[in-house]
Structure 1
């Protein structure tokens, strides 16, 4: 038994390590959508989103992983034919041992959370949720039967038609539990109209990640386009230099051009667009927030954007080059916000506008002249 488990050791460790990390990354689009819909995000919604993704990734991962570390050795020594006898689990319940019964119960329990979430959070009707659970089980079993659709040389897990029945039963039971639970614990959705002017740290980070995604896509497209145009237009002198019209350059120009593209992309998405829209970048527009928490004009607004651009620009550069100092700067901002409840650039004072003069109208009354006839 130990020797059999050791065949899966490396891939199991990899799956176990990447599981929460991948789930966290995949949760970000859901958080962005919640901000877009409700303008705010509660801790309950955030935990719910992460748990849902964690379950979904775990469902897909641990029904396929771990894979044997040595495919040739495993496929040579093991053969798992598909189990196509429907309702074969009934004799297992009647005459099988405790292990068979526990396996059936685990197949049911594995899909209980799916049914619960499809009712409680997705608000799906039962005629959509239950077939969806069945479809997920069919996909999982078919993936096992085909060795991850041909990526693996053999079926390292057994295809069992009864698993689809027990999984679907689990999804249906979970849907029923979600229905009963919601009757006693109704959901409360809080939506805040308008633009959030005092966003929290997570709201800021979700918006920032959206902006960085735009920056990164622009950087990739434009930098590769620049490099392609350079090699199309420049003539190789075969001595490490290139002739570009009257100019004599080397390959360092491609690196400088890529850096220039990154700088321009950052200035567009993190400086120009927010400054033109009162602190609302593309990410901030989607999540309905502004990072200009005060009314600023003149030199105070310039100073605000200078400080923010330096810090966010450093964070962007560190993220682009994959430097470990990225996490140090990010952790500093997190700790700073926890204690100060604001970001460093928010300390730039707002502009105090003079109050407009009050107009007092003086109404002069003229004496009424009476005439006697």
Structure 2
């Protein structure tokens, strides 16, 4: 694979995994800090993560193998270029053809353009998401670029016996210029949809919408998937450490990864819904809490039944395999229709247990105290 493409592929791949892993905590944090989740804000946050990984990947990758002649073969290629604007001389030297096409095909021009473009997102994101000034964003760009150049000059901070990339003061200038350009054009990011300003304080209740309910369900699904993945990794690490075989994580009887993975389901859909005010992981992330129709906190047994009749039951049947998986599909579709079409966005769990999900911030002083104790009254809808 081309050395210019490889770091980008690595950044996107690793970034996608980290975005999925951080999705539930990010949703929970957004609802508590901003009061809601703006899709545009979430998109820019994910972009920031992938971009940061891209900068790291382009700084370090590809990592060379250290052989007996490692330093000898790199003495001429690595070291330090301390002459500002040396790239102008390099452009004249590398210029073969005339015209715009010849200029764009010049390797020295491409190198400078890439170094400027690499830091444009940094300046824009610092100005837009970080609320920093143009001056601060530019100085941060300079500092990060300097750190990168020093990393290259020191052979990844002396992890390698000698530098394998060039410290170039022109790269420092180009990166800083890119951060400045990004900070200046940052207002363009305001046009990304789904970033409307927060209309109310973070502690003010919000409506229970279809999107919010589905976001909670998505967090439940991701939470279980990540729990199962973590269990599989831990089981395999332990198995390989003691000289055992790799565990596939199938549903076969006696499969330790499959058996232990059910502990994640028990924790998320049996134990957690009965703790405190109730609710699954996803419902808690989006600040939703189940209550009876009269606003009273349900008994723990009803909270458990609600979980088992909802997403928890769907996942239980789906992972059971066989004919039960087909029932799970029907189960999920009926519940999904209820969430989307009903006025109170209730799925099967809510219908069968006589409960409804409300914004937990609306319950303080309105039927259920923040600690979940029963209080006379009704929930405001």
Shorter-chain TM-score range: 0.5 to 0.7
Show the 5 A alignment for 1:203-242.
Answer: 203-206=216-219
| Unmatched segments (≥5 aa) in structure 2 | 96-102, 236-253, 322-327, 357-381
What aligned pairs does 1:127-138 form with structure 2 within 5 A after superposition? Answer: 127-138=135-146
Does residue 201 of structure 1 match 2:214? yes
- 1:359 corresponds in structure 2 to none
Can you give the 5+ residue segments of structure 1 that lack an aligned partner in the other structure? Answer: 224-254, 319-328, 354-373
**Residues 197 and 291 in structure 1, CA contact (< 8 A), matched pair in contact too:** no
1:36 to 1:146, Cα distance in 2 relative to 1, 3 A: same
State the match for 1:290 in structure 2: 289
Aligned to 1:274: 273
Structure 2 Cα separation of the partners of residues 41 and 71 of structure 1: 47
Pair 1:72 & 2:72 matched: no
1:87 aligns with 2:88: no
What TM-score does the superposition give when structure 1 sets the normalisation length?
A: 0.60
| Residues 267, 336 of structure 1: alpha-carbon distance in 2 compared, 3 angstrom cutoff | closer
The change in CA–CA distance for 1:65 and 1:304 in structure 2 (over 3 A counts) is: same
Structure 1 residues 293-302 or 131-140, which shifts more? Answer: 293-302
Query: Shift of residue 87 of structure 1?
Result: 0.7
Give the TM-score taking structure 2 as reference length: 0.59
1:104-119 alignment, distance < 5 Å:
104-119=112-127
CA offsets 1:296-336 (integer angstroms, 9 cap, x no match): 96786553233344445688999xxxxxxxxxx99x96998
Q: Distance in 1 between matches of 2:43 and 2:350?
A: 31
> 1-side partners of 2:319 and 2:144: how far apart?
39
CA distance in 2 between partners of 1:279 and 1:90 (Å): 63
Does the CA-based 8 Å contact 2:155-2:164 persist in structure 1? yes
Distance 2:18 2:192 in 1: 30
With 54-63 and 307-316 compared, the bigger mean Cα shift is at 307-316
Cα distance, 1:127 vs. partner?
4.0
**Partners of 1:190 and 1:165 in 2: how far apart?**
38
Higher radius of gyration, 1 or 2: 1
> Greater shift after overlay, 191-200 or 83-92?
191-200
Q: CA RMSD in A?
A: 5.2
Shift of 1:104: 1.3
**2:19 aligned residue (21, 24, 35):** 24
Partner of 2:354: 351
2:163 to 140, 155, 159: 155
Q: Is the 8 A contact 1:273 1:282 kept in 2?
A: yes
Aligned residues, how many?
308
